[in-house]
Structure formats: structure tokens, C-alpha cells
Copies of this chain bind each other. A is one copy, B any other.
């Protein structure tokens, strides 16, 4: 049973990976029916459009662009996407341009200018398909006139140092940059815009993913100034940025702006979609399946204890679901580094869970990252079951000591508990799975 639970768990996780794969994600949400392009619930009659462009940025930009190009075929006019240097090159009619990440660079700015130019030349009879994925914020840098990349880096550092939230940092970014905060959608207007989004953001806030280049912005220049003043850093802000924020040349496009009547933002991949796919796979394998949350955060070893407690409850009193039971969730935990061991948040999750579920029969807990790289290791994550600790004891391995040393990789690799996928080319955070047979 233990080995069959393990097979089920890996298959369920693999279903999440497939849904998060950039090409697969595009093909699940975008298809051609003859002359009609179907994107989610919307239909685009291709003969209506004179030209069809593909624009965008992000770590999965190359794969996304390839899939879109394949679907558009000869209807694709041209395209320009900022991608990681390793993926740079030409793809049919699309230029894949190298852009720095996580620190924006000059080549990224060059590419962003190209993208802005294509967008602004697009007319009312054109379709602009945008491909946005993780890293798009850094990889689509288009500072407002007078503002330099250095200015932007400086203010980001200032904000991080004073503990600003991601929403506050994004508010500033949107107001010193011309493509973020709906800027790309505005440039493309009056063209039709279809944005295909692979979300690496927990909760899928559209205006956070890549700083929302095609999404209405709720925030204003006044908000941006207020944030800098609230943290008392207004005086330290580079002069060009202070000037930009004070002049308030043109507000970012707001919800209700007619621009967005021509824009469809479609999430094609996300933690939620990956978790949904995993849940579907679990159900098809006969597990009574509950999705707990797709916003899991917190210290990995402590969060893991809650999962162990749920597993115990299922084993002891057959609730919240009767076995064969599967609890799935998504999100991203964190690890506070205490010592010099080797591991990652998912492996530490599995190690901590192992301690609490020790001795339970037919109970398994998996935690793994969809990018295939958990911490600085070659594992995506790990699996623990009720027999893990007994196996460790037979080999003289003290789980608590490995946990105290943040050494989950060494512990789990010795016990065959690692999940290894190699780099997956995507990232929609992590998936956690409980199975009780």
C-alpha cells in the first residue's frame, strides 16, 4: 500500500506540473476553430483582424510565444517577447529578446521599447496577444522619461528596506514606468488585446502579476507620493522620480476606462489551476478529495504540522474526509535558515511532517515546487509517510537533528524520499498533498 500511495502521490503532483507547463497552459486555454480563435469564454474571429501581434515578457515567454505562434500559424504577423537570455533567438516571426532578471538591464529596456512601439502602432483592426509570466515586472522595464534604471533600482531598495508591502512597491513601480499598471494596454488601444497570463503570484491578483501591464490600476500618483511620505523616504528618492510623481502627467488607466472594453486578461496557468488539475487526477484515482487552499504561506516546518494533524484526524476518525482521502493545497512556504544544512522549503515540510505522522499506516504527505528546484538542491520536493521515521531510525538517522540543521535534503535523499523532476520551465509555486489510504 505504501508504495502504491507513493505512486498515486507522484501522479497527482505530475498532473499539477502538466497544468502549469507553459505550452500545455496555452493549449488548454487557447485554440483555433477554423477562423475563430477561442480564448477561455471569448471568441475572436480572425478575419476581422488585419494584423495579429504577439508581445510580452517573462521567464516562460519563449514557450508561451511558441505555443501561441503554433496556434496562430500564418495569421501571426509579427511578435516581440522579452525572455531570459538562454531562450533568446528567433521563433518564426517572433523575436525573443534577452532581458535581465531579477535585475532589469539595458537589453530589457531596448526590448520594452520595441514592444511599446509595436503596441502603439497597432490599430482598431489589429489583435495584440500578450504573453505574461513570472519575472515580467523586471523583464519589461520601460522607465518614464527622465527616470533611469538606476533610479528604479534605488527606490525599490529603499522600499524593501523600510518594510513596504508588495502592493506598495507595485504602486510606485506602476507610476515610474510606462508599460506597467495598464500601460501596455493603453499603448495598444484601440487594438484588441488578449493577455495570456501565467501567474506566479499567490492569489492571482492580476494587477500584481508582472505589475499588470494590461490590467486597470487602482492606485494613483497621490497614493505613490503618500507611500513614500508614510515611510519618511520622500527626500531620499531620486530627484527624477520625485519629479515624475509630483507632475502626475497622466494617471494610469483606471477600472472602467473604455480601454479595457477591448482587453481580455486570461489566466492560463496558476497555482490554482495546477491544484485543480491535481484534484481532478486524485479524484480519478478514487480518492475523496478536498482542496484546502491555494494561498498557503508560513514557516514550512510549522505549516507541515497542520497537515500532519489533518492526516491524523483522517486516520483516527475519518474526517474531514473518509479514506481513501486526498487533501490538496497550494502556495509557498518559507524557511528560516537556522544552520548550514542542505534543503528547501518543500523538503523541510516533508521532514517535519514525517516526525508528526510517524507510525501511522497508509498516510503520506508530499510537498513539491512546480519549478522543479527546491532551495539550492536538485530536488523539486519530497514525500514522507508513516514509516519514514522508522526507516530513519533503522539507519541511525535522527530526524529532529536533521530538521534542527535545515538538512532535509541529506535526510530525505538517504531515505529515498526526494522527488526529482529537473527544471520544469514554469513556476506556479508549490503543491502540498496528503493521502490517506
Q: Give the docked Cα–Cα distance between A240 and B13 (Å).
A: 56
Contact with B along A293-333 (1 / 0, CB 8 A): 11111110011011011101100110110000000010100
Q: Give the docked Cα–Cα distance between A293 and B317 (Å).
A: 9
Q: Give the docked Cα–Cα distance between A291 and B312 (Å).
A: 13
Q: Are A292 and B320 closer than 8 Å at their CB atoms?
A: yes
| Interface status of A272 (Cβ within 8 A of chain B) | yes
Q: Give the docked Cα–Cα distance between A297 and B293 (Å).
A: 19
Of the residues B295, B302, B305, B316, contact of A313 by C-beta under 8 Å: B295
| Interface status of A31 (Cβ within 8 A of chain B) | no
| Interface status of A290 (Cβ within 8 A of chain B) | yes
Q: Are B299 and A313 closer than 8 Å at their CB atoms?
A: no
| Interface status of A385 (Cβ within 8 A of chain B) | no
Find chain B residues with CB under 8 A from A309 CB: 292-293, 295-297, 329, 331
Q: Which residue of B lies closest to A313 (CB)?
A: B293
Find chain B residues with CB under 8 A from A21 CB: none
Of the residues B163, B306, B312, B313, contact of A303 by C-beta under 8 Å: B306
Central interface residue in A272, A296, A298, by most chain B CB within 10 Å:
A298
| Interface status of A425 (Cβ within 8 A of chain B) | no
Find chain B residues with CB under 8 A from A312 CB: 203, 293, 295
Of the residues B272, B295, B296, B306, contact of A293 by C-beta under 8 Å: B306
Q: Are A272 and B317 closer than 8 Å at their CB atoms?
A: yes
Q: A272-B317, A312-B203 are in contact. Are A297 and B290 (CB under 8 A)?
A: no
Q: Give the docked Cα–Cα distance between A5 and B247 (Å).
A: 46
Q: Which residue of B lies closest to A331 (CB)?
A: B309
Q: Measured between C-beta atoms, what is the minimum distance from A163 to chain B in Å? A: 8
Contact with B along A67-101 (1 / 0, CB 8 A): 00000000000000000000000000000000000
Q: Are A313 and B298 closer than 8 Å at their CB atoms?
A: no
The range of chain A's interface size is 20 to 34
Q: A317-B272, A319-B291, A320-B290 are in contact. Are A305 and B298 (CB under 8 A)?
A: yes
Contact with B along A238-260 (1 / 0, CB 8 A): 00000000000000000000000
Q: In the complex, which residues 247-277 of chain A have their Cβ closer than 8 Å to any Cβ of chain B?
A: 272
Q: Measured between C-beta atoms, what is the minimum distance from A330 to chain B in Å? A: 9
Find chain B residues with CB under 8 A from A400 CB: 163
Q: Give the docked Cα–Cα distance between A117 and B296 (Å).
A: 56
Q: Give the docked Cα–Cα distance between A292 and B306 (Å).
A: 9
Q: A302-B303, A303-B302, A306-B306 are in contact. Are A313 and B294 (CB under 8 A)?
A: yes
Q: Are B303 and A305 closer than 8 Å at their CB atoms?
A: yes
Q: Which residue of B lies closest to A319 (CB)?
A: B291
Q: Are A310 and B298 closer than 8 Å at their CB atoms?
A: no
Q: A291-B320, A303-B302, A320-B292 are in contact. Are A356 and B297 (CB under 8 A)?
A: yes
Q: Which residue of B lies closest to A299 (CB)?
A: B302
Q: Which residue of B lies closest to A296 (CB)?
A: B309
Q: Give the docked Cα–Cα distance between A299 and B291 (Å).
A: 23
Q: Give the docked Cα–Cα distance between A312 and B329 (Å).
A: 13
Q: Measured between C-beta atoms, what is the minimum distance from A246 to chain B in Å? A: 26
Q: Measured between C-beta atoms, what is the minimum distance from A384 to chain B in Å? A: 16
Find chain B residues with CB under 8 A from A272 CB: 317
Q: Which residue of B lies closest to A356 (CB)?
A: B297
Q: Give the docked Cα–Cα distance between A320 and B294 (Å).
A: 11
Q: Which residue of B lies closest to A298 (CB)?
A: B305
In the assembled complex, 12 residue pairs joining A and B whose CB atoms fall closer than 8 Å, in A order, are A272-B317, A292-B309, A292-B313, A292-B320, A293-B310, A294-B317, A295-B308, A296-B306, A297-B356, A298-B303, A299-B302, A309-B329
| 14 further contact pairs, Cβ within 8 A, besides A296-B305, A296-B306, A298-B305 | A203-B312, A203-B316, A290-B320, A291-B319, A292-B310, A292-B313, A293-B312, A296-B309, A297-B356, A298-B302, A298-B303, A298-B306, A299-B299, A320-B320
Please give me the 8 A-B residue pairs with the lowest Cβ-Cβ distance, nearest first.
A302-B302, A298-B305, A293-B313, A293-B309, A295-B309, A298-B302, A299-B302, A295-B312
